[in-house]
């Protein structure tokens, strides 16, 4: 897993909309990695971090895809794997202006369950809380 950190750091850095964590923090959570097939086989194209926060509740903490590999279903594959691994309802927070991510989540059946006003950027950006049942 630690050998994947440079790739995670690279994708995170290229994805300013994603949470920017010190990569060592990922060792505290569960990580799913998407590997390219075909040309570029084996290259890490995306990742997500999540945790099982209670027996019937999980939390998607971060997801990002390399800019060169977007709109190819990489995040969809990660969310599908997350749905298979996590138990119960899955929650996430996403910045209200991040329409591509919100479109992704809605595409996969996440629904809006709340708003956290001023959650990001020193109170200037709202978080939309979304959830997906099994």
Chain residues that interact with ligand COA, rule: CB under 6 A: 15, 17-18, 63-65, 70-76, 94, 98, 100-101, 103-104, 107
Query: Given the complex with ligand COA, which of 89 and 95 has the nearer CB atom?
Result: 95
Residue 119, CA atoms < 13 Å, CB-side half-sphere: 15
**Shortest separation between residue 10's beta carbon and ligand COA, angstroms:** 12
Distance set, CA 123 to CA 114, 128, 131 (Å):
16, 14, 23
**Shortest separation between residue 20's beta carbon and ligand COA, angstroms:** 10
**Shortest separation between residue 102's beta carbon and ligand COA, angstroms:** 8
**Cα separation, 47 vs 66, whole angstroms:** 9
Query: Given the complex with ligand COA, which of 103 and 115 has the nearer CB atom?
Result: 103
129 close to 96: Cβ distance less than 8 angstroms:
no
Residues in the chain: 134
Query: Given the complex with ligand COA, which of 58 and 64 has the nearer CB atom?
Result: 64
Query: Given the complex with ligand COA, which of 38 and 55 has the nearer CB atom?
Result: 38
**Shortest separation between residue 78's beta carbon and ligand COA, angstroms:** 8
99 close to 110: Cβ distance less than 8 angstroms:
no
Question: Using only C-alpha atoms, what is the Rg of the chain?
Answer: 14
């Amino acid at each position: 897993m630690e050998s994947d950190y440079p790739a995670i750091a690279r994708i995170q850095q290229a994805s300013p909309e994603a949470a920017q964590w010190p990569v060592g923090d990922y060792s505290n959570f569960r990580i799913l990695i998407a590997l390219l097939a075909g040309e570029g086989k084996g290259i890490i194209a995306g990742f997500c971090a999540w945790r099982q926060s209670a027996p019937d509740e999980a939390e998607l903490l971060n997801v990002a895809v390399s800019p060169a590999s977007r709109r190819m279903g990489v995040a969809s594959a990660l969310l599908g794997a997350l749905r298979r691994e996590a138990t119960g309802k899955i929650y996430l927070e996403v910045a209200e202006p991040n329409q591509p991510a919100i479109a992704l989540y809605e595409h996969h059946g996440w629904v809006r369950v709340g708003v956290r006003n001023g959650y990001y950027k020193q109170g200037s950006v709202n978080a939309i809380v979304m959830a997906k049942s099994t």
